[in-house]
């Protein structure tokens, strides 16, 4: 009896432990790597000639490679929501970048690992998976620190290079002892704009996308070697995939996001590590909804409560699995332009794209999806369409959120049309009925891909190459004068190009249509300011900041306008408002420093500039301003050292060179000062201050001719300088010409 009871008890205990013990006592670490914008066919192990991916190829060699893996949506945010939840966008609700937050009601892979006692960490490299969009849930540590970009005036830029991401992961791994961990590492490099590090750019001339892929492959190698050398690689399950592919011109699409062809939906899927046989290739069609169930299964954990995917574990051992259809969608163009949405169903052999003019492709004989078969196969079209409608009839959680101008700009820099229009949050977003920006035309995206490409180029260049952006966007508006987004970004580009009156005209047209947004008002305020219409500018910026109380940009613009008007206290308050929203916002620190400086509070100005230099030690403008604070506070040598550092950082920077020259001059080191005045003038030839500085230095050194030449040039540029005129007259009287 007692023996039987003990035996029964033993069975019960064994039963309770079955999840844990199926693969031995030690639970594996799990490393999920997503490489953004990675086409499967760029990998050697997927058949690429001139392969640039030895690390991924070797990983496939010691694990299992799925020949076909299908993303549900060709957009970074929505696709990662699918990877991390096992749900299609219909069920997790994230339909576009920037305008959605993954709802709390959606359980995630990271939460499941954390609940099972794993340490969890996410390291992401692109703005669309920033924590503000809900991706950090379930992670003990979420590293979405992107590098700062002074040039663009943003607190942080839009992407982090793979080497910096790898370094952050390694640092975290060094602290891991004992407990199993789950880490998600997201590399962003292959996403446009394509800009590989110089060594990779020169290895792949004319192929910058391949250069980016090769660089990520190398960095993945660095990460895997580090795991191998410190030990845990043998206990680590590794899964590498992509969030979507890249069209690279196929079907007329430049990048990704618009269409649901295989060019942007096929990604690699490679697994290796404990429980995964080596060197196997599976023909089972894998889907990104399958990633979460597969990883949980391999780690011996229970599946999430709801799932659109399935564990692919049987396929790893070479077993056949019936193919499950893959739901695919893109609502991007509907969302941004009011054109038709695209939904599709993809089986192993067929794909239906449900558009105003539907398309059907026989994938085995026509993998390039070039021959529409809808006319030959009406029955198949109907069957697939019914399947699609059943999937779309499910309720979708409302995940929409407000888009602020900063989000819009950061997405635009990545070539995305820039999030949903502001002020449209909270609308019920049932599948297929997402409210569109401006007019809803229902136009088929394939009938306007040239226009969309142009629009995308114009939007992404609006800040950096404004004249080019104006040309692209004017061409778009010539074809479709009602396209709000094109007009909005053209106004921004016109302002960037200094064509402020034209920018205001575009914005007035938007206002007349009743569609002026908070960020339009920011551009309007800045352009009116540049035109000298200060009262109107102040009114526009005040309206913008009232409309967008939680957005830094309008408050920054308002602070700068107030500072220009000499309203120092109000300007300071505006900059403080930004710093309360985003601590260490570099432009707000700069503005607050300038306001303190103008108000005569040198100590406070020094604190603000000093903080910029803590966050970003090489910041040239902060170095120069801090140097000025030093000089004014009687710390001449420190000021001089800062100006020198600024010149080292930016040897062509006219302002840094001028301040260094001026400080040397004031210290009586005239010979030393002269070449810096000259370099400053080379960088900015019409600088009256540099000409005057050079003239005075030459005068003190006894070079009367040289002095007269510099001062004469200065006076020609600005005749209203009585002191310079007098000095020049004296010089000429004494023989300097």
Q: Which stretch binds Zn ion (CB under 5 A): 69-77, 81-89, 300-308, 630-638?
A: 69-77
Q: Which stretch binds Zn ion (CB under 5 A): 75-83, 259-267, 345-353, 414-422?
A: 75-83
Q: Which stretch binds Zn ion (CB under 5 A): 74-82, 608-616, 667-675, 694-702?
A: 74-82
**Shortest Cβ 37–Zn ion spacing (Å):** 5
Measured torsion, CA atoms of residues 92, 96, 97, 100, in degrees rounded to the nearest 10:
-50
Q: Is 254 helix (H, G, I), strand (E, B) or coil?
A: coil
**Shortest Cβ 43–Zn ion spacing (Å):** 17
Residue with Cβ nearer Zn ion (242 or 552): 242
Answer left, alpha or beta for residue 257, where phi above 0 means left and psi between -120 and 50 means alpha: left
Q: Which stretch binds Zn ion (CB under 5 A): 35-43, 135-143, 415-423, 452-460?
A: 35-43
Per CB under 5 A, 36 contacts Zn ion: yes
Q: Which stretch binds Zn ion (CB under 5 A): 32-40, 288-296, 615-623, 681-689?
A: 32-40
C-alpha distances in Å from residue 541, one per residue of 17, 75, 553, 583, 685:
63, 33, 10, 22, 34
Which residues, at least 6 apart from 429, have a Cβ–Cβ distance to it below 8 Å?
93, 95, 396, 398, 399, 400, 435
Ranges within 415-454 binding Zn ion (CB under 5 A) = none
Q: Which stretch binds Zn ion (CB under 5 A): 72-80, 278-286, 515-523, 673-681?
A: 72-80
Antiparallel, parallel or unpaired: β 63-66 and 280-282: parallel
**Integer Cα distance of 427 and 414 in angstroms:** 26
**Shortest Cβ 97–Zn ion spacing (Å):** 8
CB atoms within 10 A of CB 202: 10
Ranges within 583-642 binding Zn ion (CB under 5 A) = none
Per CB under 5 A, 76 contacts Zn ion: yes
Residue with Cβ nearer Zn ion (261 or 643): 261
Question: 262 φ, ψ to 5°?
Answer: -65, -20
Residue with Cβ nearer Zn ion (243 or 308): 243
Residue with Cβ nearer Zn ion (189 or 243): 243
Residue with Cβ nearer Zn ion (159 or 587): 159
Q: At what angle do helices 602-615 and 620-632 cross, to 10 degrees?
A: 150
Residue with Cβ nearer Zn ion (126 or 552): 126
Q: Which stretch binds Zn ion (CB under 5 A): 76-84, 542-550, 572-580, 681-689?
A: 76-84
Question: 603 φ, ψ to 5°?
Answer: -65, -45
Residue with Cβ nearer Zn ion (243 or 653): 243
Scan for tokens 């016109």, then name that residue.
494
- Which string of x and - marks every residue 211-250 that binds Zn ion (by CB under 5 A)? --------------------------------x-------
Q: Judge contact between 65 and 56, C-beta under 8 A.
A: no
The sign of the CA dihedral 499, 502, 508, 512 is negative
Residue with Cβ nearer Zn ion (137 or 256): 256
**Shortest Cβ 181–Zn ion spacing (Å):** 25
Which residue minimizes CB distance to Zn ion?
A: 76
For the purposes of burial, counting CB atoms within 10 Å of the CB of 245, is it exposed (0-12), middle (13-18) or buried (19 or more)?
Answer: buried
Per CB under 5 A, 68 contacts Zn ion: no
Per CB under 5 A, 144 contacts Zn ion: no
**Integer Cα distance of 550 and 357 in angstroms:** 42
**Shortest Cβ 75–Zn ion spacing (Å):** 7
Residue with Cβ nearer Zn ion (220 or 595): 220
Sheet holding 359-362, edge to edge: 326-330, 342-346, 350-354, 359-362
Q: Judge contact between 427 and 435, C-beta under 8 A.
A: yes
Question: 269 φ, ψ to 5°?
Answer: -145, 110
Write out the residues near Zn ion by the rule CB under 5 A: 36, 76, 243
């Amino acid at each position: 009896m007692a023996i039987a009871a003990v035996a029964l008890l033993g069975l019960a205990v064994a039963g309770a432990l079955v999840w844990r013990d199926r693969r031995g006592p030690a639970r594996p670490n799990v490393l999920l790597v997503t490489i953004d914008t990675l086409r499967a066919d760029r990998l050697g192990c997927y058949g690429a000639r001139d392969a640039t991916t030895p690390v991924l190829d070797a990983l496939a060699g010691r694990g299992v490679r799925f020949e076909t893996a299908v993303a549900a949506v060709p957009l970074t945010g929505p696709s990662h929501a699918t990877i991390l939840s096992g749900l299609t966008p219909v069920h997790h609700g994230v339909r576009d970048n920037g305008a959605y937050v993954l709802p709390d009601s959606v359980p995630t892979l990271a939460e499941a690992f954390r609940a099972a006692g794993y340490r969890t960490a996410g390291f992401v490299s692109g703005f669309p998976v920033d924590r503000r969009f809900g991706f950090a849930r379930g992670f003990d540590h979420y590293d979405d620190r992107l590098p700062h970009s002074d040039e663009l005036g943003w607190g942080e830029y839009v992407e982090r290079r793979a080497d910096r991401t790898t370094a952050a992961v390694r640092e975290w791994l060094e602290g891991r002892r004992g407990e199993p961990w789950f880490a998600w590492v997201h590399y962003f490099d292959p996403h446009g704009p394509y800009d590989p590090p110089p060594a990779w750019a020169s290895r792949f001339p004319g192929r910058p996308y391949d250069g980016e892929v090769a660089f990520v492959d190398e960095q993945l190698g660095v990460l895997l070697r580090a795991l191998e050398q410190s030990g845990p690689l043998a206990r680590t399950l590794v899964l590498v995939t992509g969030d979507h592919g890249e069209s690279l011109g196929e079907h007329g699409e430049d990048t990704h996001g618009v269409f649901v062809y295989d060019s942007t939906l096929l990604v690699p899927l490679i697994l290796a590590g404990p429980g995964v046989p080596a060197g196997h290739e599976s023909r089972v069609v894998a889907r990104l909804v399958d990633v979460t169930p597969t990883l949980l299964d391999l780690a011996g954990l229970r599946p999430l409560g709801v799932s659109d995917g399935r564990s692919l574990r049987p396929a790893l051992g070479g077993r056949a699995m019936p193919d499950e259809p893959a739901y695919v969608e893109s609502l991007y163009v509907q969302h941004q332009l009011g054109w038709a949405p695209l939904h599709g169903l993809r089986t192993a052999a067929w794909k239906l794209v449900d558009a105003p003019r539907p398309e059907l492709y026989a994938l085995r004989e026509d993998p390039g999806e070039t021959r529409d078969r809808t006319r030959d196969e009406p029955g198949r079209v109907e069957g697939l369409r019914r399947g699609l409608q059943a999937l779309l009839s499910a309720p979708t959680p409302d995940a929409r959120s407000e888009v602020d101008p900063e989000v819009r700009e950061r997405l635009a820099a990545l070539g995305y049309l820039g999030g949903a229009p502001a002020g449209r949050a909270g609308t019920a977003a049932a599948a297929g009925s997402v409210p569109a920006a401006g007019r809803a035309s229902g136009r088929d995206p394939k009938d306007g891909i040239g226009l969309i490409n142009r629009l995308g180029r114009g939007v992404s260049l609006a800040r950096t190459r404004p004249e080019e952006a104006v040309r692209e966007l004017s061409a778009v508006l010539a074809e479709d004068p009602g396209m709000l987004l094109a007009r909005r970004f053209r106004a921004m580009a016109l302002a960037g190009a200094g064509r402020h009156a034209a920018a205001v005209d575009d914005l007035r047209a938007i206002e007349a249509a009743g569609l002026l947004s908070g960020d339009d008002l920011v551009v309007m305020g800045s352009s009116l300011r540049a035109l000298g219409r200060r009262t109107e500018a102040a009114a526009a910026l005040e309206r913008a900041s009232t409309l967008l109380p939680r957005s830094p940009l309008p408050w920054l613009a308002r602070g700068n306008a107030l500072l220009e008007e000499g309203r120092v206290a109000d300007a300071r308050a505006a900059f403080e408002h930004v710093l309360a929203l985003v601590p260490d916002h570099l432009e707000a620190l700069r503005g607050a420093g300038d306001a303190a400086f103008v108000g005569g509070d040198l100590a406070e100005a020094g604190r603000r500039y000093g903080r910029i230099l803590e966050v970003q030690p090489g910041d040239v403008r902060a170095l120069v301003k801090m140097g000025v604070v030093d000089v004014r506070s009687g710390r001449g040598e420190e000021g001089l050292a800062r100006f020198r550092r600024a010149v080292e950082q930016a040897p062509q920077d006219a302002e840094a060179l001028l301040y260094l020259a001026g400080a040397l001059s004031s210290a009586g080191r005239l010979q030393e000062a002269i070449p810096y005045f000259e370099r400053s003038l080379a960088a900015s030839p019409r600088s009256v201050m540099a000409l005057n500085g050079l003239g005075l230095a030459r005068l003190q050194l006894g070079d009367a001719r040289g002095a007269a030449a510099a001062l004469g040039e200065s006076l020609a540029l600005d005749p209203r300088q009585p002191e310079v005129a007098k000095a020049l007259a004296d010089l000429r009287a004494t023989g300097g010409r």
